[in-house]
Structure 1
Amino acid sequence: MNENVGIDAINFSLPRLTLPIEDLAEARGLEVEKLKFGLGLKSMSVCDLDEDVVTLAADAVWKLIERECLNPKEIGRIYLGTESSVDAAKPTSTYVLDLLERKLEVNYGPRSLSHCDVVDMTFACVGAVDAFQNSLDWVSIKKDRKAIVVASDVAKYSPSSSGEYTQGAGAVSMLLSKNPRILALDSDFAVSIQSTGDFFKPRRTFKKLELLQEASNLLGLEKLTDEVVKRLESKSDGFWGTPMNIIDQFLEFPIYDGPFSNECYVSRVREALIRYENKRSQNVLDDWDGMIFHLPYAFQGRRMWPEISLDLYRKAGRLSEIEKAIGEKETEVSDKRQFIRLWSKSELFKKIIKEKIAPGEQASQRIGNMYTASIFMAFLSKISLSPEEGKNLKNKRIGFLSYGSGSKSKVFSGTIQNLFENQIHGINLFDSLNSSIKIDFKTYEDLHQRKLELPISKTSGFSLKKIGEKDLETGYRFYDIK
Structure 2
Amino acid sequence: MENNELKVGIDKLSFFVPHYYVDMSDLARARHVDKAKFHIGIGQDEMAVSPVTQDIVTFAASAANQILDEQDKALVDLVIVATESSIDESKASAVIVHGLLGIQPFARSIEMKEACYAATAGIASAVDYVRLHPERKALVIASDLAKYGLNSGGEPTQGAGAVAMLISSNPKILFVNDDALTLTQDVYDFWRPTGQTYPSVDGQFSNAVYIESFSRVWDEYAKRTASQFSDFAALAFHTPYTKMGKKALLPKLENETESVKTRLLTQFERAITYNRRIGNLYTGSLYLSLISLLENSETLKAGDKIGLFSYGSGAVAEFYSVELVSGFDQHLKKNEHELLLHQREKLSIRAYEKMFEEKIDLNHNETFSDETPYAISEIKANHRLYRQK
Question: How far, CA to CA, are the matches of 1:202 and 1:87 in structure 2?
Answer: 14
Question: Cα–Cα, structure 1 residues 71 and 94, in superposed 2: closer, same or farther, change >3 Å?
Answer: same
Q: 1:298 aligns with which of 221, 227, 242?
A: 242
Question: Cα–Cα, structure 1 residues 276 and 3, in superposed 2: closer, same or farther, change >3 Å?
Answer: farther
Question: How far, CA to CA, are the matches of 1:153 and 1:478 in structure 2?
Answer: 19
- Residue 83 of structure 2 aligns with an amino acid whose one-letter code is T
The answer to whether the Cα contact below 8 Å between 2:72 and 2:137 also exists between their aligned partners in 1 is: no
> Which residue of the partner structure matches residue 479 of structure 1?
386
> Which residue of the partner structure matches residue 81 of structure 1?
82
Question: How far, CA to CA, are the matches of 1:266 and 1:2 in structure 2?
Answer: 35
Alpha-carbon displacement from aligned partner over 1:137-189 (angstroms, at most 9, x marks no partner): 11112231211111110101122111100110111111111111111111111
Question: How far, CA to CA, are the matches of 1:78 and 1:430 in structure 2?
Answer: 27
Which shows bigger deviation, 146-155 or 112-121? 112-121
- Normalised by the size of structure 1, how large is the TM-score? 0.75
Alpha-carbon displacement from aligned partner over 1:269-322 (angstroms, at most 9, x marks no partner): 222212221232211x11011000000001211122123445xx4xxxx6xx6x
Secondary structure in structure 1 of the residue aligned to 2:268:
helix
Secondary structure in structure 1 of the residue aligned to 2:378:
strand
1:96 aligns with 2:115: no
- Residue 443 of structure 1 aligns with an amino acid whose one-letter code is A
Q: 2:188 aligns with which of 179, 192, 197?
A: 197
Question: How far, CA to CA, are the matches of 2:34 and 2:240 in structure 1?
Answer: 19
Secondary structure in structure 2 of the residue aligned to 1:153:
strand
Q: 1:364 aligns with which of 263, 275, 286?
A: 275
Which residues of 2 match residues 192-271 of structure 1 at below 5 A?
A: 192-203=183-194, 249-251=195-197, 253-271=198-216
The answer to whether the Cα contact below 8 Å between 1:11 and 1:427 also exists between their aligned partners in 2 is: no
Q: Percent identity?
A: 29
- Residue 75 of structure 1 aligns with an amino acid whose one-letter code is V
> Which residue of the partner structure matches residue 32 of structure 1?
35
Greater fraction strand: 2
> Which residue of the partner structure matches residue 174 of structure 2?
183
The answer to whether the Cα contact below 8 Å between 2:134 and 2:168 also exists between their aligned partners in 1 is: no
- Residue 270 of structure 2 aligns with an amino acid whose one-letter code is P
Shift of residue 458, structure 1, vs aligned partner: 5.3
The answer to whether the Cα contact below 8 Å between 2:267 and 2:293 also exists between their aligned partners in 1 is: no
What's the C-alpha RMSD, in Å, of the aligned pairs?
2.1
- Residue 97 of structure 2 aligns with an amino acid whose one-letter code is V
Aligned residue pairs, count: 381
Shift of residue 428, structure 1, vs aligned partner: 2.5
> Which residue of the partner structure matches residue 341 of structure 2?
433
Question: How far, CA to CA, are the matches of 2:110 and 2:5 in structure 1?
Answer: 24
- Residue 77 of structure 2 aligns with an amino acid whose one-letter code is G
Secondary structure in structure 2 of the residue aligned to 1:88:
coil
> Which residue of the partner structure matches residue 73 of structure 2?
72
Structure ID, larger Rg: 1
> Which residue of the partner structure matches residue 107 of structure 1?
none
Shift of residue 71, structure 1, vs aligned partner: 4.4
1:149 aligns with 2:140: yes
- Residue 180 of structure 1 aligns with an amino acid whose one-letter code is P
Alpha-carbon displacement from aligned partner over 1:424-467 (angstroms, at most 9, x marks no partner): 15653222211111111111101111179997x95131101233
Greater fraction helix: 1
1:465 aligns with 2:377: yes
The gaps in structure 2 that reach 5 residues or longer are 361-365
Question: How far, CA to CA, are the matches of 1:190 and 1:403 in structure 2?
Answer: 12
> Which residue of the partner structure matches residue 229 of structure 1?
none
The answer to whether the Cα contact below 8 Å between 1:299 and 1:361 also exists between their aligned partners in 2 is: no
Shift of residue 98, structure 1, vs aligned partner: 2.1
> Which residue of the partner structure matches residue 275 of structure 1?
220
